[in-house]
A and B are shown apart, each in its own frame.
Chain A
């Protein structure tokens, strides 16, 4: 699986590179690819930022199967390098979980959860609780498994074959993996918004009421009411109320993402899972979504995966740092960003690696 992702990265890069380079460095590219397969991750040659980013994007959008390039963390980091090395070698690791969680009521419990795609293990023994009514951010370098983790909560990973899991995730006390549980029920209780806005090619109204439509609700009054409530909650009502029957594909990117949030809210979920909801948006649209998340907190429990540490610091109550499939540190956002317990966390949040 990993080989294919790397190949994809290569293809993208050569396709984007100038033509002349492609001809001139033709053999060099294959050479580099060969080297990459044989060397250890931390020995990889430095890539230009552009290239690295491309591979990351590919990793994030293509599929959650893709575990991208692990960052040569140990090389950069002086303090605690040995511990990160140990993680990279696959030695057991004890997550640092702050004591503040004792006072919170959990809505989600992730219990010694591990996951592998075929032979490749992606998540290692993660245990954490998500407090009810709070915003929890999951941060970490690319390919650390944060998207995979959040997608396990509503079992989106079911769609991928060859997934194996160990441990359990409980939503309100019931296991989401219980064979007796209806997966569509889980997904209704845990609404999800994705990295790229994905409105359906139909009218705004139909987009919002989609969760009701698939439940067979036909009462036009109920549909209209839910539509308005959800759009108001997603702070989109005022912008679209006059043309609800316009095609949703014609909205701007930020509006589309808020529409997706409205759609998730229309199903009346308990938990809202946001998988990098702002990564495809400009700063103004990002601001709007962040404001929205703050407003929704309290009513809903929100779990947000983000690349952007400022964003995590601004909007979340709790923050978890993942690295190579392990939960490194998990605590109140203020503490994680100002006084983390582990030096690795401090290095990450201050931008010294990742």
Chain B
């Protein structure tokens, strides 16, 4: 009985559900669900794109420094290839290419093509040894490979060199002077590890002497010459002041020349000592080659490394990347000058844009009488944010470099003319150009922050007898600080990632000196600089060895993203701390 009641009730409910009233022909927009799916879907797509990008950069950027194993491949034509597999792909061989092959080779290709619907797999191998092969990379198609396939020989060494890129080969001897002291790989490796650190130490000493000591001498000489030239321009060549200074200069020149010569001798002796040591290697196709130990940055038997050694190698490469100067047209070595240039540029830009933007916004919001003029200015400032950045670059070059810099050169650095000092691209002009570019961001954010300061708070201050400026200084500005910081963050993020205008006003492929060094006045704002964004462009599109530079592009991009994220994070922490102080817990 009870069960039948339950059943009938169920039926009833089911029937009701089936026959429920449905609105006839009502609008799709009357339902909520499609809108949720539409908006949510859009969000998911956006997130997927951003995360995909970040993931791509992260994986590729981190993979760059991982020491891969070295493969030794014997080819059917008797050649052998030694190197790291970079990537592999499927391709369709060109019929003309097949025509020119010998019949048995063609048969192999045809077999492989037929097995995979016209596609053949090939692998890109980094073979290095550029001075012998004239290639850094080489494609090897599967049909080319002899039956044995690839092996991973124990004593295949990877050599990272100061010049010519990497070298792959087997050790056959360790050379000291004219004699070969070791011939067994194990012994050679031990000898290498014994001598290499000392050789590198001397190499670093040479580099320091060349850049620092000789640089200082040259700098001092140049300074004296400029002083002489200044006097010459001011008083003429026949004046007694010039004559006196010229004698003094000649004396100083002689002294410096002596000093220069002694440093040169020291460098020569270090060089001679270093050049004794060499590593004799045999390449995959049997050529022998001696490489000076001083030329070797790093060498390792790639196939013998344990996980710990690989990690250590990885760490040392990352450290080199972060702290060293670039080599080999930027495709090897580090990018420290670019990191420094970017951070320094962003800092200088913030120093210029934040105070100026805040003061301008203060006038617009606090002092200017609302009216047509102020509205026009506001609209103009907002529109400035939409101007393509290259336009700012052109303006910066035309105005800052040529007009302002040119005038400065005329007035203060006339001795150095026709070589420009400030009259060309430099970090000062670049930062001012970026400051101009990001000014609207700061002004708009500051104005909003000022407008958000409650009227009651200003009134409270006025009612205490404060003047307008006192109120702004003590009440409005502190209260608006989080908003101002938001503007500064946005400006910094925008400025740090900007490339186009920098190419015109001072970013260069390779800057010989940092804008900050040990020589008075320490800060050299006229110098050109390296920039991460420009570096990425240069690596990716201007590099002669683009295949080797490609991983560096990812690493540099990853670093740029991290740098911008770090800058933002720092400012955000500061802002949240300020906000906490401002927040009212009651009311």
Contact = CB atoms under 8 A, between A and B. Distances in A.
Which interface residue of A161, A192, A200, A215 has the most chain B CB atoms within 10 A? A200
A194 B465 contact: no
A198 B456 contact: yes
Given A156-B459, A194-B460, A201-B479, A249 B465 contact: no
A110 to B, nearest CB: 19
Interface string A177-217: 00000001101100110101111111000000011011100
Interface residues of B, number: 28
B453 to A, nearest CB: 10
A30 interface: no
Interface string B564-587: 000000000000000001111111
A198 B459 contact: yes
B584 A249 contact: yes
Contacts of B457: 198, 200
A48 to B, nearest CB: 26
A23 to B, nearest CB: 11
Contact of B460 (A63, A200, A213, A251): A200
Contacts of A210: 461, 464, 466, 474
B582 A213 contact: no
A197 B457 CA distance: 9
B497 interface: no
Interface string A236-253: 000000000001011111
Given A198-B454, A200-B461, A250-B585, A161 B474 contact: no
B463 A191 contact: yes
B390 interface: no
Given A201-B582, A214-B474, A253-B587, A264 B464 contact: yes
A260 interface: yes
A263 interface: yes
Interface residues of A, number: 36
B468 to A, nearest CB: 9
Nearest to B460: A198
B213 to A, nearest CB: 53
A267 interface: yes
Interface string B46-87: 000000000000000000000000000000000000000000
A249 B474 contact: no
A154 interface: yes
B467 A184 contact: yes
Interface centre among B460, B463, B585 (most CB of A within 10 A): B463
B478 interface: yes
Contacts of A159: 458-459, 462
Given A201-B479, A252-B586, A215 B465 contact: yes
B470 interface: yes
A213 B585 CA distance: 26
A59 interface: no
Contact of A249 (B370, B455, B582): B582
A256 interface: yes
A69 to B, nearest CB: 22
B465 A260 contact: no
B463 A154 contact: yes
Contact of B464 (A187, A197, A253): A187
Contacts of A252: 586
Interface in B424-446: none
A249 B585 contact: yes
Contacts of B584: 201, 249-250
Contacts of A202: 478
B475 interface: yes
A280 interface: yes
Nearest to B585: A250
A200 B475 contact: yes
Given A194-B460, A198-B460, A211 B465 contact: yes
A260 B464 CA distance: 10
Contacts of B464: 187-188, 191, 210-211, 214, 263-264, 267
Contacts of A211: 464-465
A188 B466 CA distance: 9
A247 B581 contact: yes
Given A200-B475, A201-B479, A214-B466, A194 B461 contact: no
Contacts of A184: 465-467
Contacts of B583: 249
B519 interface: no
Q: Tell which of B455, B464, B582, B583 has the most Cβ of chain A within 10 Å.
A: B464
Nearest to A159: B462
Contact of A213 (B370, B474, B479, B586): B474
Interface string A262-278: 01100100000000000
B369 interface: yes
A260 B459 CA distance: 12
Contacts of B466: 184, 210, 214
Interface in B471-496: 474-475, 478-479
B385 to A, nearest CB: 29
Contacts of B462: 156, 159, 187
Nearest to B455: A63
A75 to B, nearest CB: 35
Given A185-B465, A260-B460, A196 B479 contact: no
Nearest to B578: A201
A21 B462 CA distance: 43
Contacts of B465: 184-185, 187-188, 211, 214-215, 267
A62 to B, nearest CB: 9
Contacts of A253: 586-587
Contact of A156 (B463, B467, B479): B463
A260 B460 CA distance: 8
A201 B478 contact: yes
Interface in B534-587: 581-587
A211 B465 CA distance: 7
Nearest to A247: B581
Given A247-B581, A249-B582, A264 B463 contact: yes
Contacts of A187: 462-465
B301 to A, nearest CB: 64
Nearest to B481: A201
Contacts of A200: 457, 460-461, 474-475
A178 to B, nearest CB: 17
A239 B582 CA distance: 21
Contacts of A214: 461, 464-467, 470, 474
A215 B467 CA distance: 10
A115 to B, nearest CB: 18
A161 B454 CA distance: 18
Nearest to B467: A184
B7 to A, nearest CB: 39
Nearest to A158: B462
A187 B458 CA distance: 13
Contacts of B478: 201-202
A202 B584 CA distance: 11
B366 to A, nearest CB: 11
Interface in A210-230: 210-211, 213-215
A50 B587 CA distance: 20
A338 to B, nearest CB: 35
A54 B462 CA distance: 27
A8 to B, nearest CB: 14
A118 to B, nearest CB: 14
7 contacts: A184-B466, A200-B460, A214-B465, A214-B467, A249-B582, A253-B586, A260-B460
Given A210-B466, A253-B586, 19 more contacts: A156-B462, A159-B459, A184-B467, A194-B460, A198-B454, A199-B460, A200-B457, A200-B460, A210-B474, A211-B465, A213-B474, A214-B461, A214-B466, A249-B582, A250-B584, A251-B586, A253-B587, A264-B464, A280-B587
In order of increasing CB-CB distance, the 5 nearest A-B pairs are A192-B463, A188-B465, A198-B456, A198-B460, A249-B584
Interface of A: 63, 154, 156, 159, 161, 184-185, 187-188, 191-192, 194, 196-202, 210-211, 213-215, 247, 249-253, 256, 260, 263-264, 267, 280
